[in-house]
Amino acid sequence: MESKIAEVSHVPAVERPYRQIAAAVVGNLIEWYDWYIYSLLAVYFAEQYFPSDTEGSLVPLLAALGVFAVGFFMRPLGSLFLGRLGDRYGRKKALQTTVSLMGVGSLLIGLSPTYDQIGLLAPVILIAARLLQGLSTGGEYGSASAFLVESAPPNRRGFFSSFFYLGATAGNVAAVGSVALLSGILDQAAMESWGWRVPFLIGAAASLCAIWIRRSSVETLTAAEVPSGSPAKSGMFDFVRQHPRQTLQVVGMQLGPSVAFYTWVVFLPTYAQITVGFDRAESIRIGLISLIFFWAVVPVCGWASDKVGRKPFLYASSLAFTVGTVPLLGMLSNSFWSLLVVQCAGMAALACFASIASAVQAELFPSRIRVLGIGFPYALTVAIFGGTGPYIATWLIDSGRTSLFSWYIAALSAITFLTFVSMPETARKPLED
């Protein structure tokens, strides 16, 4: 039996794994495009759903970002229910479901009436759409991570893992690019009136394309892992009972990167606008440049981790944010080069972690509980720390304690570094089936 498991572990799950990459990347692109455009466009539509009586108040933006955070709290539920689907009936079915839910959520936001039109029902619809998208995103990470790593040859899991964030970053580039294009073409009044709806409607339509592409992919939960082709028999929380140490390690390794990722990738343009008065359109363009830089670095880090191991890159990322966050955010000014340097430096540190996160986490769990083992602790950590990051930053700025946010990221990153110290090197170990 042991020899059979070892043999399966060393054979790629599919004969043409690059077709699997295409399915994962296209789906991730649409998934994360739909998820991120909300935070980029919140400054345009916040007052239409959360009106304020005080001119210049940050209360509407705080409320809109609060809805962004609320969406994160559906992610643990999504990781449980859709992760269970992925572990019992296959990664492919879970991935088709996640992108379908995301498209419906985007359609609801794009067509939702404003507060002036239907009163309190307007923010209720907005919240419902974000909850639906949170459910979708919660199921996406674990399913897509397992799908990519199981599709890879054993000596290229780090490289294949990097394509998760390549897809996610491509979604970010598409989101930032669409907002930058619209804000360059339309004036502020048009953007606030109707222009902000266009990216949401584009995302809803593109989800149909992602569903079709994912239908043509090959299932990686094979008969080798599911006896007699029947659904895998496992409890919902078997990953916690049987692998408590690995579950806690996923939580620890996500603490710092969760806040850092949503700060640098999603919130930094808005952070620069409200702290140093940076031009809104210019900050979005710089965000686009830094995302392209990140997109170029990630596969290089994933490829190199297959050669030299995962831990050097994990150490580099966590140490960079532990000692570098305070000086980096402290050097922000109303200058093009200031924001570009800060954003690209953070992206380089993120790339060291993001490129191999899926591989490292997939290598901790056996196949029958891999999606749940990766997805739930990841989603729970991101919900508590990543999703609340923009809200905490805005609240601290509004209360005059801006610098505390930098120390918050640094402290969480220090815990992540200690987690990496406790973990074994997994680059050259076979996947457990």
The predicted-structure confidence for 339-370, as pLDDT tens digits, reads as follows 899 999 999 999 999 999 999 999 898 888 89
By C-alpha distance, which of 173, 199, 105, 100 is closest to 140?
Answer: 100
* pLDDT at 66 exceeding the cut of 80: no
Helices (H), 237-388: 238-242, 244-261, 268-276, 280-308, 311-330, 336-354, 357-362, 370-381
Q: Which of 79-83, 225-229, 344-348, 429-433 has the lowest mean pLDDT?
A: 225-229
* pLDDT at 249 exceeding the cut of 90: yes
Average confidence (pLDDT) over 79-89: 90
Average confidence (pLDDT) over 235-253: 87
Q: What is the mean pLDDT of the chain?
A: 83
- Residue 207 and residue 37 in contact, taking contact as beta carbons nearer than 8 Å: no
Per-residue model confidence (pLDDT) at position 14: 56
Average confidence (pLDDT) over 183-196: 87
- Residue 73 and residue 385 in contact, taking contact as beta carbons nearer than 8 Å: no
Higher pLDDT residue, 398 or 178? 178
Per-residue model confidence (pLDDT) at position 228: 45
3-state secondary structure at position 380:
helix
The confidence band for 252, taking pLDDT boundaries of 50, 70 and 90, is very high
Per-residue model confidence (pLDDT) at position 234: 57
Average confidence (pLDDT) over 11-22: 68
CA distance 31 to 25: 10
CA distances from 284 to 76, 106, 327, 342, 424 (A): 30, 21, 22, 14, 39
Per-residue model confidence (pLDDT) at position 176: 78
Average confidence (pLDDT) over 65-69: 70
Per-residue model confidence (pLDDT) at position 107: 94
CA distance 379 to 134: 10
Per-residue model confidence (pLDDT) at position 390: 73
CA distances from 49 to 115, 124, 390 (A): 5, 9, 19
Higher pLDDT residue, 421 or 387? 421
CA distance 92 to 415: 34
CA distance 305 to 311: 8
Average confidence (pLDDT) over 391-415: 84
Helices (H), 385-430: 389-398, 404-422
What angle separates helix 91-111 from helix 121-151, to the nearest 10 degrees? 150
Higher pLDDT residue, 195 or 279? 195
* pLDDT at 52 exceeding the cut of 90: no
